[in-house]
Amino acid sequence: MARPTWNSRDGAARDPAQPLDGIRVLELARILAGPWCGQLLADLGAEVIKIERPGVGDDTRHWGPPFVTAADGTNLGAAYFHSTNRGKRSFAIDIGTPAGQAIVRDLAAEADIMIENYKVGGLAKYGLDHATLALSNPRLITCSITGFGQTGPYAHRAGYDFIAQAMGGMMSMTGEPERQPQKAGIAVADLFTGMYSAVAVLAALNRRDRTGMGAHIDLALLDTQVAVMANQALNWMVSGKVPRRAGNGHANLTPYQAFPTLDGPLVIAAGNDGQFASLCRILGVDLAGDARFATNPARLANRTELAARLEALTGAWRRQDLFEALEQAGVPAGPINELDEVFADAQVVARGMAIAPDGFPGVASPIVIDGKRMVSPLPAPGIPEPISE
C-alpha cells in the first residue's frame, strides 16, 4: 500500500458548509474517548487519518459480536468500532520501528491536530510526543487523553471508563437506594472526555489563529467524570450532605421520576409548581393546595409520601392516555423506550438520526448548523493493510 499522505495538503477549505474542512487530524488513539473526539471532528469536516497497530488494529474491532460485514461477507470489525470511527482513513503502521516512526512524523509535520491516548510518556520513547513533534511543527495541537492526566500521583495508571465512573462519584449515586452502586449503561466518562477533547481542540485552534502557536491539551477521564457531577457536586459543596442513590428520583426536583401505569412506566418531570398543579388536576387530586406539597422545597421534604400518593393514581391509567393528557397540559413526560422503539420514534425518524453511509449502519451526530446535519458521508474504515515504508 502507498505511503499515506494528506488529501488536503494545502489546508484550503473546499466545502464552506463544513466548519473544519481543510483541518488535518492525526489520530493515534484507540477504544473510545480519543476515537470519539476524532469522529466528531470528522463529522465537522476535518480530514482524519487513524493509525492502527498492524495485525491487531484498534481493540474495539474485536469487541463483538455483533460484527459489521461487507457485501462479500468480509468481517469489517465489531459494531462497537464502527460506532466511533466514522469518516476516517486508517493505516496500519508499527510505530515501534524507525520506518513507522518516520511515516508518523511526516504526517504530524503537516497536521493541525494530533489525538493520542498512550500512557503518560508512552510516545516519547518513539520520538512522537508533543514536545518532539512541535519542534518541526510548532502549530501542532496535541490532545493527550489518559485516565488520570499528565500530572498527579495516579498519572502512571492506566485508565478505563468503568474505573473513572467508580472513582469520580457517579456510581455512588446511580442505582436503587438499597442495591449495589451501578455504572451507566454507556461509557459516559469516555464519551464526555471525547466531547471535552473536541471542545478543547477547537478552542486551541481559535487561539492558534491569533498567536500562530499550537498547544498540548491534557484531558483525563477522572477529571471529566468529576467535572460532569455538576449540580450533585455543588449540592455537596454547599450543604455538606453526600448525595445518595435515589433510583430514578432527582436530587433537586420532585415529582421527577418514573411512575407506574397499567401497561408500563412513564417518566414525568414536573419542573415547577405550575406543572405540578397541572399534574394534580389531571390525576384528580388537590395536592398542589396542600402546604406539604405546594412548593418544590416542601415536596422534597415530603417526597416519599408524595411519590406513594402519585403512584397510586398513575397506576390506574393506561400509559398512552396519561402521556397524551400530560402533553396537552404542558407537563413534560415520556415513555422509557428500548432501542428498537427509539429508532422507530417519529421524532427520531424525522430528525434523521439513523444513517447508513455507503450502506453501513450508523447514528448521526446531533450537531445541525444552518439546517445541515454535521455528519461525515464516509463509513468507518475497513481493516487496513500494514505499511512499513
Q: Which residue has the cell 514536545?
A: 131
The C-alpha cell at 368 is 445541525
The span from the CA of 179 to the CA of 200, in Å, is 37
What is the amino acid identity at position 209? Answer: D
- Do residues 152 and 226 touch, judged by C-beta distance below 8 A? no
In the chain, count H helices and then E strands. Answer: 14, 16
The C-alpha cell at 127 is 520520538
The C-alpha cell at 46 is 476535518
Which residue in the list 43, 58, 161, 190 is annotated as catalytic? 190
Task: Considering only CA atoms, give the Rg of the chain.
Answer: 25
The span from the CA of 264 to the CA of 315, in Å, is 9
Phi, psi of 268 (to 5 degrees): -120, 130
190 belongs to the catalytic site: yes
Helix, strand, coil shares, percent, the chain, to 5: 35, 15, 45
Question: What end-to-end distance do the CA atoms of the chain give, in Å?
Answer: 9
Q: Which residues pair with 144 in a beta bridge?
A: 116, 218
Residue 209 backbone class (left: φ over 0; alpha: ψ -120 to 50; beta: rest): alpha
Question: How many residues does the structure list for the chain?
Answer: 389
The span from the CA of 301 to the CA of 283, in Å, is 22
Phi, psi of 51 (to 5 degrees): -105, 125
Give catalytic residue positions.
190
